[in-house]
Structure 1
Amino acid sequence: MPQSDDEHLVDLAARLERDDPRFARALGSGRPARPREYRRAGAWGTLGAAGVLVTAGVVLPEGILVAAGLVLGGIAVPMFDPHRDHPRS
């Protein structure tokens, strides 16, 4: 027996609440926030810290700072992928 449109909407709302409760609450209040996939504040912060470390390592001749900045940059770049939590099929 096919579901009615109302049942589809209830299922969709329940799935949204389970997947991203912050977005669902904000959507219900009329001020939607970005979905979790598109929140990149942590990625930008990590990339900024990597840039600071690389710059400091170049200005002060410290190879360990350059290496740490490059490693941190390598960690930050995949954080910009909106589908990083979903396995590729």
Structure 2
Amino acid sequence: MAGSHDKRLGEIESRLHREDPRFARALGAGRPCRPREYRHTRAWLLLAVALAVLGTGIALANGLLIAAGLVLAGMAGELFDPQREARRHRNPPPRS
């Protein structure tokens, strides 16, 4: 019985190390960091750029800048989704 628990824990550990090695190393060192799903630095930077482009487009009354700002804001919103990796690999497109 104890062997099966050790085996399952070993499988969980190896999967965690494969999915997020930075988190696994920090957890092993006793100083855990946020898992990959909750690190949003790039998303915040992209959102700030999107808002700057959108604001500039509104101030200059330039439709192309407004559209670009909205597209960038949508891309930033997609980066905030913690389940985007799982959803991306769930249903691959059909082969022609």
- TM-score tier, shorter chain, comes to 0.7 to 0.9
* Cα-to-partner distance string for 1:1-55 (whole Å, 9 max, x where unaligned): 9952222211111111111101101111111111111111111111111100011
2:69 maps to 1:69? yes
Alignment of 1:7-86 (within 5 A): 7-86=7-86
C-alpha separation between the residues in 2 aligned to 1:41 and 1:67? 23
RMSD value over aligned CA atoms? 2.0
User: Which blocks of at least 5 consecutive residues in structure 1 are unaligned?
Assistant: none
| Partner in structure 1 of residue 94 of structure 2 | none
Higher helix share: 2
> Which letter maps to 1:17?
H
Stretch deviating more after TM superposition (59-68 or 16-25): 59-68
Q: What TM-score, normalized to structure 2?
A: 0.81
Q: Deviating runs (4+, > 3 A) in structure 1?
A: none
> Which letter maps to 1:41?
T
C-alpha separation between the residues in 2 aligned to 1:56 and 1:12? 48
C-alpha separation between the residues in 2 aligned to 1:43 and 1:60? 25
Stretch deviating more after TM superposition (79-88 or 25-34): 79-88
C-alpha separation between the residues in 2 aligned to 1:5 and 1:18? 20
